[in-house]
Structure 1
Amino acid sequence: MSDTTPTPSQAGEPSGEDIVAAHEADLLSQAQAELAELKAKSAELADQFLRAKAEAENARRRAEDEISKSRKFAVESFADSLLPVADSLEAGLAIKDATPQQIREGAEATLRQLVAALERNKVIAINPAAGAKFDPHQHQAISMVPAEQEANTVVGVLQKGYLIADRVLRPALVTVAAPK
């Protein structure tokens, strides 16, 4: 008697090999979908990186341009504020028969214009009063002299100093009281 019992594949049921093959095919399609998704994400991130890099480069270039323009126009503004001083000096020199009094008045008016132009551009005079404490950051001692005031204080100013935006452009040249 022969065994005529049908096998699972003959009965229409999948065999173990068919189940494994179907499972592997399913895993392969999942892996391919995941790979496609990761490739798309990678392309998106690469695009974002390139855009961010380009934006950073553009920002750097714009900042350099702004710095260059601000330097250029800062000098332009300073020069523009000094033009009236030059005009006043030229006008004063054009007067041939000026009296000493007129020359003095013109020089004082021109000096006021110059001081105002310097102050508008944040150039401030350092002119310490007699008796003020010596400040090595703003003053340069030329000599120490005996004086009837506290030691290490300013006795006299030989030449004014100047600050520009709170930075010493030139220290004031001063004489300082010597210790007793």
Structure 2
Amino acid sequence: MELAQLIAHRRSVFPVQYNSEAISKSEIETLLQAANWAPTHRRTEPWRFKVFHSEASRKGLSDFLARTFEATAEKFSKIKQKKIAEKPVQSACVIAICMQRDPNESVPEWEEVAATAMAVQNMWLLATAMGIGTYWSSPGLRNHLNAHVTMAEGEQCLGFFYMGKYDGPLEEGTRHTAIEKKTTWY
């Protein structure tokens, strides 16, 4: 598939859509290598990843998120807690997407966030080419991850990248408006 086609065919594939097929450590390492080639201003390379690959680590993340939701939710719902807890165990791998702020603040924070997002886009596109479904979720619980895993000073979690193999074709993509309506030429 050509790159333009790959970009147009990239989709969010949710944990409920994943089958039970494993994702190998080498497949994950390949995706992480792609992430590491994202553009980065002043070469700060702010992306950091916490990989929950084993069944035990995904179950641990699931339990942590469920407990944290119960302890912090303004409006607790058992149904929402169950959905939060299911995502990591339905996935073959979960990667916490983190950003390490440059301690010298040599670039604006938004550029560090953008560089991290580009690293994730690299993984997402390559995962699509590899037949791996992915989904980036940014729940408020991400702000509590440091209570579950070690994070460096200035490091923050931007979300969770759920991954799994899936069966069947995905829906066609759509855009609400054409690019011509979003572009001004000078």
Short-chain TM bin: under 0.3
* TM-score, L = length of structure 2: 0.25
Bigger-Rg structure (1/2): 1
* TM-score, L = length of structure 1: 0.26
